[in-house]
Chain A
Amino acid sequence: MVATALTKALTHPAAGAALDIEQISHAFDIDGAELPVLSDVSISVEPGEFVALLGPSGCGKSTLLRLVAGLDKPKAGRLREDEERIRRPHPSRVVVFQDPTLFPWRSVWDNVALGLEAQGILRSQRQRVDDALDLVGLSSFRNAYPHQLSGGMAQRVALARALVNDPKILILDEPLGKLDSLTRITMQAELVSLWQRKGFTTLLVTHDAEEALVLANRVVVFSERPARVKADIRVDRPYPRHRGDPYLADLRRQILGLLGLDATW
């Protein structure tokens, strides 16, 4: 608790938004049959918090992110960003998906400019695009096309495309899932430093317990589908965190236990 307060004080206190996920239930209709994916999920996220959503794959974490983003509507329950109901997508909540999904017909610069262009403010704010590219260290690739980038670079561009909008809530749907382990570790560090500098609230879906513990102040563990909140764990450790930290190792064992993997660890 002290640590989260401290991180908040160190960064911009107003940069992040509070997020309230209140008794959300959701289901898919598959050939007329209803397949429940989320069952009575409630999470309250403070402004500037970094929350990792951890659970077995296919449990419904990504669905929850789509609901938070406003891309889909929940069957039951309410979502609020700073006390305001979430009804549709808004650039204050930007998603970085597992695939970079860059637009192949646009150059790197034009991809990053997408949000500002869609909101009709690109003309006056071109500098923000350059800044965002600087932030992820890809200024020299501004004129490249997506197919010329490596996986890690493409995901960095996707990150810049999100950050250029100065989101209050950054929603990360396993953005590092498809990267090789080296790139992954580098980008984890970059994510933490970006989050610390910018102070946005971050929601990260992952199925990697170690990633969750290295990055987040809070780890929410989900059950199998339909997902329920199984545990809500605070990670009160300063950054940068060390992977071999015995405290984290202990938490990891605990979390893997919750996920039903205690025998192997």
Chain B
Amino acid sequence: MSTYSLSDGLASGAPRTSRAPLLATWIRESGVGVLASIAWIAFGLSCLWWEDVGDWSRTHSLGIAAFIIAAIALFGTVGADYLGSAGQALHKRAPWLVALGAFLTVWEVATAKFAWLPLPFFPPPQSIIEVYTDDLPKLLDSVFASVKLQLGGYLIGATIGFLTGVSIGWSRAVGYWVHPVLRFIGPLPATAWLPIAFFTFPSSWSASTFLIALATGFPVTVLTWSGVASVSNAYYDVARTLGAKPSFLVLKVAIPAALPHVFVGLFMGLGSSFAVLVVAEMIGVKAGLGWYLQWAQGWAAYANMYAALIVMSLLCSGAITLLFSIRDRLLVWQKGTVKW
């Protein structure tokens, strides 16, 4: 009996030792993906299990959507080997999916189901979804107005700032006249001009464009200028001995050498112009996401505010990402010389 059971233990022990690490690798590889699926199932259940304390029309659809995401996460994890790069991408983002599912579950339970958070101020996820589906035209109009205003102001400000910066950096005479003006006006926050701008400019749209351009222009000017001023004389010497004319020195030596600085200015300008955009829309322009926020607050439509905030942050981070990819393309030569 004992020998039998011993040999039995040995016989079954051999495959177990080879299966155990297999299971361990599978858990290590796919555990997070399965966990993500579970988190989203929990979110779906949290939507459907209890009755809503308020009146929201999208609770059911949201629960179904959560289950669909859970299913995608599960199948994506199990079948990762057959999905190629999509499976890889899912695997990389799985920890975030877990966190997001857990966060949404807690949010759902704390607002829509038990109202632990005071209700009108902390709307549940489904009411934000409701804004996106039911108030879409107005939201899209606002997005369009904001993008138009921001893009126009930013491009004008960046162009003028760049040209001014190059001129100050290059010409002593221009520097003599522009530098003190810049010193005096530049550090003033662009929003301080708001009251003046809105009655001097013919329309609130042109006034806001001016303010955004101003907020963008100052950092771009200063950094372009310092970039041009810091170009090593050795580069100019080399170009001059090779027969370069002044225009060549500006366009082909000073500007490319200053470009890394210019991009720092462009990033700073983008950040400060967002602030001006929102304030200008809240106060003067009757369109755009800033105005939408203001309007939503007036109606105590808190879900709309959160919805607009989410869109706004997507737009801002999208703009930054776009600028980054332009920089990466233009400054590809910097790869390997500096750590990004």
Contact = CB atoms under 8 A, between A and B. Distances in A.
B235 A103 contact: yes
A174 interface: no
Interface stretch (B89-97, B206-214, B245-253): B245-253
A91 B239 CA distance: 10
Given A118-B244, A165-B243, A105 B256 contact: yes
A93 interface: yes
Nearest to A119: B243
Contact of A114 (B232, B239, B245): B239
Contacts of B241: 69-71, 89, 91, 93-95
Interface in B199-252: 232, 234-235, 237-245, 248, 252
Contact of A165 (B235, B242, B333): B242
Contacts of B331: 105
Contact of A99 (B234, B242, B256, B334): B234
Given A95-B241, A118-B245, A161-B242, A148 B336 contact: yes
A165 B243 CA distance: 10
A80 interface: no
Contacts of B253: 103
Contacts of A93: 241
Interface string B303-340: 00000000000000000000000000001011011000
Contacts of B240: 71, 89
Interface string A66-77: 000111000000
Nearest to A92: B243
Contact of B234 (A69, A90, A97): A97
B296 interface: no
B243 A118 contact: yes
A145 interface: yes
Given A89-B243, A148-B336, A105 B234 contact: no
A69 B232 CA distance: 18
A117 interface: yes
Contacts of A161: 238, 242
A98 to B, nearest CB: 10
A58 B203 CA distance: 65
B259 interface: yes
B78 interface: no
Interface size of B as a range: 20 to 34
Contact of A105 (B237, B242, B333): B333
Interface in B9-67: none
A128 interface: no
Nearest to B255: A105
B238 A90 contact: no
Contacts of A103: 235, 238, 253, 256-257
Interface in A16-41: none
Interface in A78-128: 89-91, 93-95, 97, 99, 101, 103-107, 114-115, 117-119
Nearest to B243: A91
Contacts of A178: none
A106 B252 CA distance: 10
Contact of B337 (A94, A115, A147): A147
Given A95-B237, A103-B253, A105-B256, A114 B242 contact: yes
A90 B243 contact: yes
Contacts of A115: 242-243
Contacts of A90: 243
18 contacts: A91-B243, A93-B241, A94-B241, A97-B234, A99-B234, A101-B237, A103-B256, A105-B256, A105-B259, A106-B333, A114-B238, A114-B242, A115-B242, A118-B243, A118-B248, A145-B333, A148-B336, A165-B242
Given A91-B242, A145-B333, 13 more contacts: A71-B240, A71-B241, A91-B241, A91-B243, A93-B241, A95-B238, A101-B238, A103-B235, A103-B257, A104-B334, A118-B243, A119-B243, A165-B243
Interface of A: 69-71, 89-91, 93-95, 97, 99, 101, 103-107, 114-115, 117-119, 145, 147-148, 161, 165
In the complex, the 10 A-B pairs of residues with the closest C-beta atoms, listed nearest first: A115-B242, A91-B243, A118-B244, A89-B240, A105-B256, A119-B243, A101-B234, A105-B333, A147-B337, A89-B241
